[in-house]
Structures are given as structure tokens and as C-alpha cells.
Structure 1
Amino acid sequence: MRVELSEQSIDALAEIISGGAANGYEPSIGLYRQGWKLEAWFKGFGVPFDVKSESRLPATTTAIRAAIFIDTGNGGLLKRIIESSADPRDFIREPERHSAVVEYLNKHLFYDGLKLEWAGRIMRLVEIAETAPVTGELSAMAAGIDFDTASRDLDRALRAGADDPEIAVTAACAVVESVCRSILVELAIDFPAKQDISSLYRAVRDPLGLDPMKEGLAPEIVNDVKAVLSGLMTAVQSIGALRTHVGGAHGKEKGFRRIDARIAKLAIHSASAIALFIIETWQIRHPGRKLPLRDKPKRS
């Protein structure tokens, strides 16, 4: 992955790593590190740090530029530096500060086509995938309602779309599953015995009132809306079947033929449209009520 940082991102990264100027007017978002700690921190990456000729913050900026000069390959060095600047282990006593650091960096990294996201217990720097209108709208909505599970699944699907279509299909399926699971959790409804995409979608249909006969629609379009909703169920079942047959969650036999990236993108866009419809319906049925975050426990 190639990492090219703008001047603004370099400045933001330097502030996070150093903790800002010692005599700054406002408290820094980052962790304050003394000169000797900064020297040891950069030494771990093989990057020179000289606090004798300039103060901590400018010296940190210089060290980052040195890392850019050293890192003439695939961006691995810069990637590790950025990830380490937001290492959650450094913020065990201040988790709120860690969230602020990630948000601050991501606001700058966005313009470089990059973002920090959770990968298990650690942070990973990833590329922001280009999105079609429907996936972009879903991504924006998921971020706006603090629904980070769907955001991660969607990002994973988009990044894998061209290079690993099987993984993309699995992630696309997970987008819809995440939305349905979160609605069931928030409404305190038990999960269905079989927790595949079709069963989860069926479980949220009645609570969300996805029945055209209940919408007070004009008689001449009731059948049309009913047909669209029937098609939605067909799409849900088809995405689940595609995941079962070619998804990246299962091993593949010798001679397995990979699917066309176009099919993976079709699954991504279809799943995005379904998830967007479910979330919009949720917002109409329960205005102002947020879907649960990633760390909220699930019902069994």
C-alpha cells in the first residue's frame, strides 16, 4: 500500500506523536512525550530524531519527513508509524483520548485516501475504497448514526471487490447481517435459530412493518410496492446463496474457479441498497433512536 501524506496530515501526525508544543495555548489531543521518549520512539522504527537542534514538535515533524525519505518502498514504514501513533495500549487509562486521536487523524487522512480502523484489538491503516453512489450514501449514513459495524463491513467489501471478490461477497453479506442484528439487539428481540442473512432479514421485517398493506399507500401502487419488497427478499436470499457457494469464509477445492469482480460488486451494491432501505425504515419507525455500537453485547 502506497502512503502519501499531505502537509496537513504530517502536521497532525507530528502533534499526535509529540503531544504538541510544551507552551501551546490549547491542550494537545496526543500524548505528551519528552524529547528522550520521542528519540526512543522513533529509534524503534530506525528513524533518526534530533531534539538538540530544534524543539520537540518541529523535531517530530522532521523525523516524519525523514521516515518519508527512508520509506521509498511500499509505504510499510509510514504505515507502521501512523498505526503506532494510535496504539490503543498507550491510552488504556484514557480511552476517550484514543477515540479523539483516531478521529482527528482520520479527518486529515481522509484527504490522502487513507483511514485508521479497528482490526481486532489493534489499529490498522487502510485505503479508502472508491464508492458508487449507493455505497457512498450507506457509508455516510452509517457514520452519521455511529453504526461502525456496517461501516467496517462495507469498507472491507469495497477494498476486496477487485482483488478478492470472494471475500467481498462475504463482507457484503455481513453488511446486511450487521444491520439486522443491531436492530434485533436494540428492540430486545431474540435472534432466529439460524442466523444467516435470510433468517435475520425475516426477523426484522415484521418489527419494521415492511408490509405495503400497512403503509396507507394508494391502492394502485400497493401491488407494485409489494413486488419490490418481494424482490428485496429474493435479493437477500441470492446474496446469501452466493456467499455460501463462493464466499471467502469457506475453503475451496482444487480447481475452484474465481468469480468475476463484477459479480462481487453487484453483491456489494445490492447489499448496500438493502441495508440502506432497512436503516431508513428504522429511522422512520424509531426517529432519534440510534442503532447499537460495535461493543454492545448481542442477545443469544
Structure 2
Amino acid sequence: MANKIPNSVIGAVSSVIAAHYYSHSKLNALFMECGAPGDVPEGNCEAKCASWLKHCNEVTGVNAFAVLGRVIQHFMDQEPSEYRPEIEAGQRRIREALSRNQLSYQVNGHVTLAGASPATKTLADFLRAGDFASIEAEFARAVSQLDQDPHAAITAASSIIEALCKTYIEIFSLEMPNKQTVVPLWRSVQTHLGLNLDPTLENDQKRILQGLASIVDGIGAYRTHIGSAHGRGVLPPAIQVSEARLAVNASHTLVIFIMERWHGA
């Protein structure tokens, strides 16, 4: 993925986000909280958004796509309402702009490569429906990034675990942890999964689940330290492709296990 936000995406996002928040103070707080660099740009709300996103492209060491994802996260992750049709229209406009540039928005504020065709469903939709084929495709996309960008592959794999856990928690009305990162999310899901009632197997399964918990902890730490989600600086910590592949494959195993448990496959 190119490291600069395309102008057509900047135009769509600026128009939609400016209209949604319609407040200089809210936009200033939003962009600063999301890591946008520099002083507050001049101009009206839409011009301000466009200038700030363009500045993200220009500043060395700033992950422009990470900032973009955080800026649009709240707007994109909210459920459309019949009382506010402009939300669904705005979400569709942003997705279409991303798709035209072979990009896709995924839940929890991640902008990723989307391939040649537009994304018609969100990751949460695939998870709710038990759409194993589409989840396999998401992991295949992460694997395809390994050689070129192992940091982004780890971020993608961690994001899929986070999306799965958040969706699971919402579907089963579990308590959402205050800190919505991969480890506390997994802990909430783990306690709800249930184990085989046969006491002969229960201890064995507990060991496996404890191992999975360690995997989640490791992947979350990887993402924090070397993934692409929080910006990488000029020289990100080095990682071997084999190490990144291990993290992605471990994520895949965990996600498929939870989905099979959830959907009774």
C-alpha cells in the first residue's frame, strides 16, 4: 500500500467528516487525538480536514493511513439509523472512495489493501454470518503482505482478532472491557467459550486455551511494538518474515477456533 492517502480519499473523507462534526473545536480535538501532526490548519471545516490529511502525507515518520483510520473510526463503526440517513450515505461515500484506490476500511479504524473489487461487507458482517470463506480471504490478504510489509501483516492479523472478539462480545451481550485492545477483549471471550464437559478432556483443553491466551498476548505486543497501527518512525524495529508469518498463522488458528465454537461448525 502506498504510504500517502490518495487525493480522492482525502476529498471524500474531508467532506463527510466535516459535515458530520460541523465544529472546529470537535475537529481540532479529533485530529490531534488521532495523531495528526502540526498546528491547526486555517479554513472552514472541510478545508481544515483536507489540509490536515495532506500534511500527514508530507511529514516524515507519520503513518498517514493510521491517522486516517483513527479519524474515521467512530463515524465508520457506528450503526446507520433510519433517523440519520446521512450516516449510511457518508459511510458508503468513504468506502467507495477507498475502493476506487484499492483500499478498504475494516472495523476498529484500520485502512488496508482491498484488492481490485469493492468490499461489500464489513469484517463484522462476515464474523456474524459465520462466513469462513471471507475470513480466510482476509487472512490470505494478510499473508500476501508478509514479504513486502510484515509489520502491516501483523497489524492486519491482530485487527481480525480484535474485530472477532468485539463482535462476539456484542452478539452475546458480554461486558465490553474498558480497554478495547486484543488482550482484554480475548479474556472476555475466553471465559464465555465453554469447555468439553468430559472431565478427562477438560484439563487438556484448559492447557490449550492457556496457550492461545499466550498467543494473543504475544500478537498484541507485536502489534504495539512493531505493527503498523501506531506509526513506525523512520526506522521501525526489524522483524523476519518467518516471525511475522508465525504471528499471522497463529491468529488464523485462534479466529477459526472461536468461529467454529460460536457457529457450531
- When the two structures are superposed, what TM-score results if normalisation uses the length of structure 2? 0.49
Bigger Rg, which one: 1
Q: Give the TM-score normalised by the residue count of structure 1.
A: 0.44
Higher helix share: 2
